[in-house]
């Protein structure tokens, strides 16, 4: 398993697989097979894929810790960048196909509709993370500051699920929202659990040394 993950072709393969949804949608656009409301289908599919890649990105660290397979970390950056890629496509297709790229209307729509405001905020928060994803950015910022910045992804995840929840609220159709919500809850909950347990551990150490 570790050998497979460390294989030189593992990353290019993941890259190709991650492009498949985009390629499939592009083919459907060209062949006019997106159904009666092609704009709606395209925008929603891209939103679904953003959410899926976000879950995959957030799953890397817990999986690494549960399985002790350090090699998984190699793929975290690429998955994060694909999340931002699909989020950008999602927003762009909304801006072009739903709003006709009329910026006045887009600004008014973002302000008027809470669920769009929340989604747009999540996208804007992703941009600094995508922009500081390369190795040299880590050096520039210093690992501690870089990590603090990239904890924004937790806020992004919560905004993304709220965006999805509000979008579905019109029809009270919460089945899929519950699935993604549960996945994100487990992935963030695990981190919270680790963090609080860690604090208690250090507090115990501190009190022991004070006694000593």
Partner 1 sequence: MLLPQDRGFSHAIASEITPQNVFQTRRALLASLAVSGAFGARRAFAQTTAARPLPATRSTVPGALTMEKPTPLADVTGYNNYYEFGTDKSDPARHAQALKTRPWTVSIEGEVKKPATFGIDDLLKLAPMEERIYRLRCVEGWSMVIPWVGYSLSELIKRVEPTGNAKFVQFVTLADRAQMTGLSSSVLDWPYVEGLRIDEAMQPLTLLAFGLYGQVLPNQNGAPLRLVVPWKYGFKSGKSLVKIRFVEQQPATSWSRAAPEEYGFYSNVNPSVDHPRWSQATERRLGDGDLFAKKRPTLMFNGYEAQVGSLYAGMDLKKWF
104 near partner 1 (CB under 8 A): no
**Residue with structure tokens 């999540």?**
122
Nearer to partner 1, 37 or 196 (CB): 37
The answer to whether 187 and 207 are in contact (CB under 8 A) is no
200, containing H or E segment: helix 175-211
* Alpha carbon distance 108, 121 (integer Å): 15
Residue with the two structure tokens 């551990």: 201
Q: Is the dihedral of CA 133, 92, 52, 162 positive or negative?
A: positive
CB 176, min distance to partner 1, A: 11
Q: Is 36 in the site for partner 1 (CB under 8 A)?
A: yes
Of 34-42, 67-75, 82-90, 152-160, the segment contacting partner 1 by CB under 8 A is 34-42
Structure tokens at 132: 């500081």
Rule CB under 8 A: choose which of 12, 35, 142, 198 binds partner 1.
35
Per CB under 8 A, the list member of 8, 9, 32, 144 interacting with partner 1 is 32
Region from 27-35, 45-53, 156-164, 190-198 binding partner 1, contact rule CB under 8 A: 27-35
The contact set with partner 1 (CB under 8 A) reads 29, 32, 34-40, 42, 97, 100, 109, 112-113, 115, 170-173
């Amino acid at each position: 398993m570790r050998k497979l993950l460390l294989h030189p072709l593992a990353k290019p393969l993941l890259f190709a697989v991650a492009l498949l949804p985009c390629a499939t949608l592009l083919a459907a656009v060209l062949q006019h097979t997106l159904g009666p409301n092609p704009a709606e289908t395209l925008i929603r599919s891209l939103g679904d894929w953003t959410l899926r890649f976000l879950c995959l990105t957030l799953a890397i660290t817990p999986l690494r810790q549960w399985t002790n397979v350090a090699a998984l970390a190699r793929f975290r950056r690429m998955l994060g960048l694909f999340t931002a890629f699909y989020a950008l496509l999602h927003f762009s297709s909304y801006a072009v196909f739903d709003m006709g790229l009329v910026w006045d209307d887009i600004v008014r729509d973002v302000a008027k509709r809470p669920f769009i405001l929340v989604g747009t905020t999540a996208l804007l928060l992703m941009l600094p993370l995508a922009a500081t994803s390369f190795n040299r950015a880590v050096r520039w910022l210093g690992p501690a500051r870089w990590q603090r910045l990239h904890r924004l992804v937790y806020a992004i995840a919560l905004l993304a699920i709220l965006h999805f929840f509000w979008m579905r609220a019109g029809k009270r159709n919460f089945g899929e929202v519950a699935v993604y919500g549960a996945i994100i809850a487990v992935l963030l909950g695990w981190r919270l659990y680790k963090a609080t347990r860690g604090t208690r551990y250090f507090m115990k150490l501190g009190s022991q040394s004070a006694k000593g």
